[in-house]
Structure 1
Amino acid sequence: MKNNKLFQVSTLAAFQNKGYDGQISIKNMLSYGDTGFGTYDKLNGEMIVLDGVAYRAVGDCSVEVADLSDTTPFATLGVLEKSKEQVLEINGDMSQLIANLNKSIDNTENPILSRISGRFEIIEIHGVWAQSQPYQELDKIVSEQSVLVLEKIRGSLVGIFCPDSARGLNVIGWHFHFLSEDKKIGGHVNNLIAASLNIKFKITEKLAIISKND
């Protein structure tokens, strides 16, 4: 069943090998889940998927709703809508968030999909501008993006955890994208400081690759 899996477009290995050209439409991708993240054709923005809507955070971290005909070269998403919410105490930065997530969920063998919402004292994010060929290495592209630091802002993180068994397929450990409550600002999360946040999560069975022909 789709509800019990975490789905992804392409693999991390292919994506890191300059595989930035879109493979499937956003409309097709959204048939596999309501929560997730990724990027768009030619790295045209960081993707945040919440409540079944795909948002695009471009290089200045401003956000727009993506067109369903847009395409993605790499994305990960699943179904979270029926998950129960609980309070997660953080009282610290990103490392403390991850430590408390790991302690609360206590799972290292399965992919985990989560939505973490509330008030962030500080959050540091970046977006990305569309690239043109010949493409540069991903690390170089990311290092050249501007960083935005926000204070006392409400919003949501999409957090995905992938176990060691997913090496080469996806990012190992936790990875987060942010969308503000007013849906005007978002991007990849570099760091944050928060006290307590609300979390919904699902431990999924496995990662499954979405076929271009599905």
Structure 2
Amino acid sequence: MTAASCGCAEHIAASYLARNGTLPLPIGDGEIYQTSLMSGLIAGVYEGDTTLGELFTHGDFGLGTFNDLDGELIAFDQHSHQLRADGSATPTRPEQKTPFAVVTWFKPSVDLPLEQPMSGEEVEALINRLAPSANLFCAIRVDGEFERVRTRTVPRQERPYKPMLEAIAEQPTFDFNETRGTLIGFRSPPYVQGVNVAGYHIHYITDQRDGGGHVLEYRLKRGRLQLGLVSKLKIELPQNQDFLSADLFPADLDAAIRQAEA
């Protein structure tokens, strides 16, 4: 994190708190609902039994992937899209299934205009100052105009499945320049690494709904930040043979997740 990012975040956070009161932020009464584990994806468990229709009874805001690792899922405002490795974005269908997804009912306690250009690192520094406890989940949404957003999208896999680090070795990346769109995601506590993704996990889609993906880096021109703290986590585990026989706690799990998310 650069000194410039710290100064920018501190200034915006101080101005917001001066207008809206002091920390700590109120904690939402909702919960994070998750199907399967991130360590399952790392191990190559790419099939789940949870349909999107079932998933969205637990929340309409979140992200994940699809069976066969067929692209990235993004959901908000009662709409969800599948972002595929060919660069397309299409509305999802209720019968589609997911091997890993995280959703909630989004109830932000911060709603803050961002009126100056900020890097992704600066936005994260701002969130860390507005929601300083790393021990709770933080649901995040940023709508705005972006100078650039770089994403990647996982290509569809076929059996016999490769471990995730092999599957993403040839994943395509996309550069969205001068677009309007929405970032959706979560900041998860360090202690859930392997269960989820510790730290920031963010997906993007354009306002035209014509592309997006898992966010690698971005620069915001101006926009709106919303976030809320969540203290409840519910996990539904698969019962298929792939999951039951997978090594879900390998020695290099933390490094593997960091590499997969980079």
TM-score, length basis structure 2: 0.75
Partner Cα separation in structure 2 for residue 156 and residue 184 of structure 1? 12
Tell me if 1:128 matches 2:145: no
Counterpart selection for 1:64 from 75, 87, 90: 90
State the match for 2:210 in structure 1: 184
For residue 42 of structure 2, what is the amino acid of its counterpart?
Answer: Q
1:1-214, aligned counterparts within 5 Å?
A: 4-80=30-106, 85-88=111-114, 91-210=117-236
Partner Cα separation in structure 2 for residue 87 and residue 107 of structure 1? 22
CA contact (8 A) 2:155 2:167 kept: no
What root-mean-square deviation, in Å, do the aligned CA atoms of Structure 1 and Structure 2 show?
Answer: 2.0
Q: Please state how far the C-alpha of 1:201 moved relative to its aligned partner.
A: 1.4
Flag the structure with larger Rg.
2
Q: Please state how far the C-alpha of 1:133 moved relative to its aligned partner.
A: 0.9
CA contact (8 A) 1:3 1:78 kept: no
CA contact (8 A) 1:113 1:204 kept: yes
The SS at the match of 2:168 is helix
Partner Cα separation in structure 1 for residue 181 and residue 148 of structure 2? 11
Partner Cα separation in structure 1 for residue 61 and residue 163 of structure 2? 27
Higher helix content, 1 or 2:
2
Stretches of structure 1 that go unaligned for 5 or more consecutive residues are none
For residue 143 of structure 1, what is the amino acid of its counterpart?
Answer: A
For residue 197 of structure 1, what is the amino acid of its counterpart?
Answer: G
| Residues 136, 90 of structure 1: alpha-carbon distance in 2 compared, 3 angstrom cutoff | farther
Partner Cα separation in structure 2 for residue 82 and residue 206 of structure 1? 15
For residue 99 of structure 2, what is the amino acid of its counterpart?
Answer: P
The SS at the match of 1:143 is coil
For residue 78 of structure 1, what is the amino acid of its counterpart?
Answer: T
TM-score, length basis structure 1: 0.91
Q: Please state how far the C-alpha of 1:89 moved relative to its aligned partner.
A: 5.9
Identity %: 25
Partner Cα separation in structure 2 for residue 127 and residue 121 of structure 1? 20
For residue 17 of structure 1, what is the amino acid of its counterpart?
Answer: A
CA contact (8 A) 1:16 1:138 kept: yes
Partner Cα separation in structure 1 for residue 166 and residue 123 of structure 2? 27
CA contact (8 A) 1:24 1:72 kept: yes
Cα deviation digits, residues 3-49 of structure 1 (max 9, x gap): 51111110112221111112200000001111100000011110001
| Residues 33, 105 of structure 1: alpha-carbon distance in 2 compared, 3 angstrom cutoff | same
Partner Cα separation in structure 2 for residue 25 and residue 146 of structure 1? 26
| Residues 132, 212 of structure 1: alpha-carbon distance in 2 compared, 3 angstrom cutoff | closer
| Residues 142, 185 of structure 1: alpha-carbon distance in 2 compared, 3 angstrom cutoff | same
Partner Cα separation in structure 2 for residue 155 and residue 17 of structure 1? 32
Partner Cα separation in structure 2 for residue 180 and residue 61 of structure 1? 12
Report which stretch shifted further, 92-101 or 64-73.
92-101
Higher strand content, 1 or 2:
1
CA contact (8 A) 1:88 1:100 kept: no
